[in-house]
Each structure stands twice: as C-alpha cells, then as structure tokens.
Amino acid sequence: MDRAQLADFLRTRREALQPEDVGLGRGPRRRTSGLRREEVASLSDMSVDYYSRLERGSGPQPSVQMLAAIARGLRLTLNERDHLLRLAGHNAPARTARSDHVSPGLMRIIDRLQDTPAQVMTDLGETLVQTAPARTLFGDETRYTGFARSIVYRWFTDPAARRVYPSEDHDLLSRAFTADLRTTLAKHGPRSRPAQVAEALLSTSAEFAELWAAHEVTNSHHFEKRVQHPDVGVMTLQCQVLQDQEQYQSLLILTASPGTDSHRRLGLLALTGSITTPAEPGVATRP
C-alpha cells in the first residue's frame, strides 16, 4: 500500500470534482477547490473520519469493497478505479463485460435525477445505485449480498420482495423475471452467475421451476408499471431505460403523467424522506 500516493490521488480527484458534477448545490460560502471531504464521504457511504484519514495518509488499508465505494463516490473511470486499487495494495480485477462499477457517464445522469426514482441495475437485476426517491419507493436494494442481490432471486424466495407491486400483477411479473433470467443466462453462458442463480431457484422455488420449464423467452415487461407504497397507495408509472451495453447495466427512470393521481403521489414521495419505506425483505445467505 502506497499511502502517500493513495492520499495524493484521492485529494486530486476530489479537487477535480465540482458540486455540480455530482448533483450538489455550490452554496454562497464555498471556498474549497472541488468537493469537500465530507461530501465525498457522504457520496461514498462512509464516515468523514475514515475518508479523511485515507486522504491524510494515516488510515488503515481499505478493503476492496470500501475502495469500490470511493471509486463510485469520486466518479472514477474503470482505469482510475484499477489504479486506486493498486495504490491501496490490491490487485485490480480482471476486466469482464459484466462489472459492478458504474460508469461516470451513468453516474452524472443519476446525479441530476435526485428528485426522481431512478436506479442503476445489472442485467441480473442487481441494484448498484439508487436515488433517494427510489429508496423510499423500493427500499434500499443495494444492501443485499449473495444471490439475494438479484431481484429475480428475491422475487421467488422472499414474499416481502413482492409487496411493492399489486398482487394482481404478480403472475405477469413472475413470467417476466423468469424470461429475463433465461435471456441473461444465454448471454453469459452455463458457468456464469446467472446460471448459478437459476440453479439455486430450481431447487428452492416450485413456481420458478414450472415457469422455467416453459422456456418462455419473450420479454413480458412493459414500459408502464404499477407500483405501490404503504403511505401513498398504487401508482401507474412509466419506466424509461438507458442501457450501457459495454457493462450490461441499465439506468431505470420512473415518472408519472402530469396531472394524474400517480404524479401527485410520486411527487409526495420525492419531497419527503420521512415517509415509511416498504418492509425490507430478509437478506438471503446463499453465496
């Protein structure tokens, strides 16, 4: 671990970012060149003290997971992320098409959507980044580990995962999630992570096994979805998708038609962070 170079790299990257680059207001009293340390710490979901110690060259060796969070907070490119890992004494992961690293381009877009439910997901249904309204609507989907990171796995193994959708839509969504997983498995191959998720579901969910045996590959998703929240009820939302083909990631943006009850209810979710979030499904322990 090269503490001096790591500290210098973090400082220069922090000073290169402006508040507007990450969706923050500049404010009238800002004197700092670039972002403040506390702003980077917040963007990286860590304490100010921990991040500040790294930038001063006095912190412990950060884990790969902590470095990934910092890379996302500082909006680093893949090359910059790999450089950060090496400075901290870790090997950079082998480059594959499937990556959990969100590109700076997608991050810049989601930074400007902080009043809108939006999230970046992998093609396996793993949520990587959420805006605050998305967390209010769906709960914190970035906290899961193992197979439970995938909404497809949670859908068939934890009943609580279905509470955000009206019960009359569950059959259609079950078919859609199954078809999505089959398409993703074919794209990545029989030794891939999607194949492992499918194998685990075949042994745990009779519903999934029946749908899987039907070999349905037509994408049943609609750009219009109905979602529900315990405080505001059912909303009809339009789902726009922006895809990053190189990393098999998608940015999902949920909006409602102006003048509708759904638009009013969605606005209420976006304006308050104190509304009760949906009950969190349990975190599965499979690898």
What CATH number is attached to the domain comprising 264? Answer: 3.30.450.180
Residue 35 structural domain? 3-87
Q: Is residue 201 part of a domain?
A: yes
In a domain, 281, yes or no: no
Clarify whether residues 200 and 245 are in a common domain.
yes
Q: Are residues 176 and 39 in the same domain?
A: no
Q: Chunked in runs of 10, what are the mean pLDDT values of the chain (287 residues)?
A: 87 86 74 82 89 88 89 85 87 67 86 90 93 91 93 95 94 93 87 93 96 80 83 92 81 93 86 51 41
> Are 80 and 111 part of one and the same domain?
no
CA–CA separation, 120 vs 110, rounded Å?
Answer: 8
Residue 35 lies in a domain: yes
Predicted pLDDT of residue 169 = 94
Same domain flag for 56 and 187 = no
How confident is the model at residue 26, as a pLDDT?
73
On whether both 125 and 39 belong to a single domain, the answer is no
Count the neighbouring beta carbons within 10 Å of the beta carbon of residue 273: 11
283 occurs within a structural domain: no
Question: Starting from the edge strand earliest in sequence, which strands make up the sheet with 224-229, in order?
Answer: 127-130, 118-122, 249-255, 233-244, 224-229
Give the chain's domain count. Answer: 2
Do residues 83 and 108 both lie within one domain? no
| pLDDT in the model for residue 94 | 62
Q: How far apart are CA 32 and CA 175, in angstroms?
A: 52
State the Cα–Cα distance between residues 202 and 215, nearest whole angstrom. Answer: 13
pLDDT at 222: 61
pLDDT for position 5 = 85
Please indicate, yes or no, whether the overall pTM of this predicted structure exceeds 0.75. no
Say what the pLDDT of residue 96 is. 58
99 in a structural domain: no
User: Is 133 part of any domain?
Assistant: yes
- Co-location of 181 and 247 in the same domain: yes
Taking a C-beta distance cutoff of 8 angstroms, is the pair 51, 14 a contact?
A: no
pLDDT of res. 65: 86
Rg of the chain taking only CA atoms, in angstroms:
20
pLDDT of 268: 83
Q: Would residue 97 count as lying in a domain?
A: no
148 and 181 fall within a common domain:
yes
Residue 72 lies in a domain: yes
Per-residue pLDDT at 283: 43
